[in-house]
Amino acid sequence: MKYVIQYTLPYEHRVMVGIKADNSDEAVRKAETLFDQGDIWQDTAMVPLLLDDYEETGDSPLLFTVEQTLRDDEPWPTPDASVVTLRRRDAAFVASRLLVEAYRRGEARGGSIDWGDLDDAYQAALRATGSSSDGSKPSPTCERLVVVLEGGIVQAVIADQPDTAPDVAVVDYDTDGYEPDELRPITQSDGSQSLALVIEHFVEPADINLDEVFQESE
């Protein structure tokens, strides 16, 4: 038999970011807004990520549980989107390292980079982008994307396939309370420009039943 084992562990998630503000209260308010919008971890030039760390807390024991039992001939479950993201991130690191090594070897040869040195970097880059060697996309495409609102504020953007979802941004023309350097000029259909607060949102795995969300439109 094959078993899917889960373990849980209590932890504290500590995050530090850089915020420009006129005073500490305003800085906290901006940080809280970014947290509510799911954008505090984006590591931008305006709000750099300075610390993102996990630390075990409490005296709760490490708990292992059997989540699923499979026959020997059954395949393992499809990895969650969080695992896909980690694998693609790791592949991106490998591709970057191999590319740098290939470049340095090329310099040592007098400026000629061997195509053979780029093969491993290319394969790692394909894995990082979710592509196969023939250019196809084995991962399912994103077909359902949901914007979750509460109190008129975007709380989350979720999708059935977040790793293949398009980039999502909210353009808000209600700019009261924001500094000019926090706003972007957006060109309108008539050629004029209007200042707006633009917030890019990270697309998360869906934790609600999307069949219930889309049932009326299908």
Region 177-199: mean pLDDT is 89
**Which residue type is seen at 125?**
A
Residues 213 and 144: their CA atoms lie apart, in Å, by: 10
What pLDDT is attached to residue 215? 78
Structure tokens belonging to residue 176: 């009261």
Domain boundaries, the chain: 2-56, 78-139, 145-217
Instruction: State pTM to two decimals.
Output: 0.47
- Answer yes or no: are the C-beta atoms of 177 and 199 closer than 8 Å: no
Model pLDDT, residue 130? 75
Sheet with 145-150: strands ordered across: 145-150, 153-159, 203-205
pLDDT per residue as tens digits for the range 96-114: 999 998 888 888 888 788 8
State the pLDDT at residue 115: 79
pLDDT tens column, 129-185: 877 555 554 556 788 899 999 888 888 999 988 878 888 999 999 988 888 888 999
CB 39 within 8 A of CB 80: no
* Cβ-based neighbours of 147, under 8 Å, separated by 6 or more: 154, 156, 157, 168
Alpha-carbon gap, residue 51 to 34, rounded angstroms: 16
In sign, the C-alpha dihedral spanning 115, 119, 122, 124 is negative
pLDDT bracket for residue 217 (50, 70, 90) = very low
